[in-house]
Structure 1
Amino acid sequence: MNENIIEIRGITKHYQVGVQVVKALQGVNVAIKKGEYVAIMGPSGSGKSTLMNVIGALDTPTGGTYVLNGTDVSRMSDDELAEIRNKEIGFVFQTFNLLPRYTALENVMLPLIYAGVSKQGRLKKGNDVIRKVGLQDRSSHKPNELSGGQRQRVAVARALVNNPSIILADEPTGNLDSKTSVDIMRLFGDIHAMGNTIILVTHEEDIAQYAHRIIRLRDGLIESDTINEKVTMSEQF
């Protein structure tokens, strides 16, 4: 049985900018197992955002193959990619991306509407994940009535509600102060402990150190791919 939830083989991504071709990814190979907690790091222009867009089925590669949970998504149409995103991937963004007129619970339940879940089912699942992130007493509040950390917890709950194959977090603490960032990263640790696969894209070294494995990109190539022994050793004791 193949334990890899993600298999990326020889992925390239080229963009035409005027007369110039920008080679954002230049033959990337990555395998991620189910239940792993991985950070993807790299300076601006390293290709980490492009790789995140490919992993998140937000963009198609120029070349190579990408297999997500047994399905080759490398050459899918936009409609097929949208379906895969809703079913397989839970997104957490730096800017939260919450709808301002909806309550916390309504924001969390949105992916379930697209998935065709009944109203009763949406309420049950929505309340379950709101509880998991510790916001049951804020479920009827709108985003402007919540702190930055609470809004990010709503975004995490929304990412979890469809029980996706992977949680993909793009700079999830970028708009938070240091204390709130620690709280959110603890939450990701709890989610990982429940068996979820987490891929964290960040440029912050201290945030990457919460992950069990750190992949560093430079100039569209993987510079290093290492186990974070600080985390894995501490969990053994």
Structure 2
Amino acid sequence: MDKKKVIEISELTKIYQMGETLVHALAGVSFDVRENEYIAIMGPSGSGKSTLMNMIGCLDTPTAGDYILNGNNVSTMDDAELAEIRNREIGFVFQTFNLLPRTSCMANVELPLIYAGMKSSERKERAVEVLTKVGLGDRVDHKPNELSGGQRQRVAIARALVNNPSILLADEPTGNLDTKTGEEIMELFEELYRQGNTIILVTHENEIAEHARRIVRLRDGLIESDEKVENPVLAREAVS
């Protein structure tokens, strides 16, 4: 039986005005994402992948078309509604980590729960739980500048997971990491996928995209191809 659709995107269009020029960043993109899919979105500079990521992440609204996220049509939402749905439905992982430098790992991870109105004791318990899940249970009181790049990205992933979001949206998550650390982070994403998370990865690197189970390639604001990955990098080993 097919898993339920988390995302339904239909004829999504985004036009920006740059002076007197109209730029068609997305020119009618349609695709669905089901629960526990692991998708990489790829495309050259100017293909529309960053615009599409902003749409999926509810950071921007389309000029035309529909975007249904977990049954909610977010295409027509105002900024306040978008902020609420972002906090509830989407866990972001950025290339630059986006951590607060002067606060502990726990405080960084708790942040989405503060916005969600969760009380302090529950927040702390949940933050420790997800930090432990990403292998940082012994670093909860450390500040980001006391951690390696890989550990900082693990904190960012813990923060993204803390609200149990519908989607984990990762933008070039290994872009600031060396090759070995990048592989460790991709192993963590593989583990999260196997635990049932829905992951959308935006990347320009084929080696990173090949960890996913499906690759959507954009060109000139349109989907050029949408294919299953026959032999994902980390799935070559048998599931223990």
TM-score, normalised via structure 2 length: 0.96
CA distance in 2, matches of 1:155, 1:139: 13
**1:69 and 2:70 equivalent?**
yes
CA distance in 1, matches of 2:203, 2:127: 28
Match in the other structure for 2:192: 191
CA distance in 1, matches of 2:114, 2:70: 23
Deviations 1:46-65 (A, max 9, x none): 00000000000000000000
CA distance in 2, matches of 1:106, 1:190: 24
Q: CA deviation at 1:3?
A: 1.2
Within a 5 Å distance, the mapping from 1:4-83 to structure 2 comes to 4-83=5-84
CA distance in 2, matches of 1:2, 1:227: 16
Aligned partner of 1:69: which letter?
A: N
Q: Secondary structure at the match of 1:120?
A: helix
Q: CA deviation at 1:234?
A: 3.8
Match in the other structure for 2:158: 157
CA distance in 2, matches of 1:2, 1:68: 15
CA distance in 2, matches of 1:119, 1:2: 35
Q: Is contact 2:13–2:65 with CA below 8 Å preserved after alignment?
A: yes
Q: CA deviation at 1:236?
A: 7.5
Match in the other structure for 1:214: 215
Aligned length: 237
Match in the other structure for 1:135: 136
CA distance in 2, matches of 1:78, 1:2: 30
Aligned partner of 1:143: which letter?
A: P
Aligned partner of 2:49: which letter?
A: K
Any unmatched runs of 5+ in structure 1? none
Cα RMSD (Å): 1.4
Match in the other structure for 2:145: 144
Match in the other structure for 2:180: 179
Match in the other structure for 2:168: 167
Q: Which stretches of structure 1, 4 residues or longer, exceed 2 Å deviation after superposition?
A: 231-237
Percentage of pairs with the same residue: 64
Any unmatched runs of 5+ in structure 2? none
Q: Is contact 2:170–2:202 with CA below 8 Å preserved after alignment?
A: yes
Aligned partner of 1:141: which letter?
A: H
**1:123 and 2:139 equivalent?**
no
Q: Is contact 2:3–2:35 with CA below 8 Å preserved after alignment?
A: no
Within a 5 Å distance, the mapping from 1:90-129 to structure 2 comes to 90-129=91-130
Deviations 1:46-91 (A, max 9, x none): 0000000000000000000000011100010000000000000000
CA distance in 1, matches of 2:141, 2:125: 15
Deviations 1:124-146 (A, max 9, x none): 10000000000011111101111
Aligned partner of 1:220: which letter?
A: G
Q: Aligned in 2, Cα 1:72/1:39: closer, same or farther, shift over 3 Å?
A: same
Aligned partner of 1:66: which letter?
A: Y
Q: Secondary structure at the match of 2:176?
A: coil
Q: CA deviation at 1:231?
A: 2.2
CA distance in 1, matches of 2:92, 2:13: 23
Deviations 1:181-220 (A, max 9, x none): 0000000001111100000000011000000000000000
Aligned partner of 2:44: which letter?
A: P
CA distance in 1, matches of 2:229, 2:194: 16
CA distance in 2, matches of 1:135, 1:2: 32
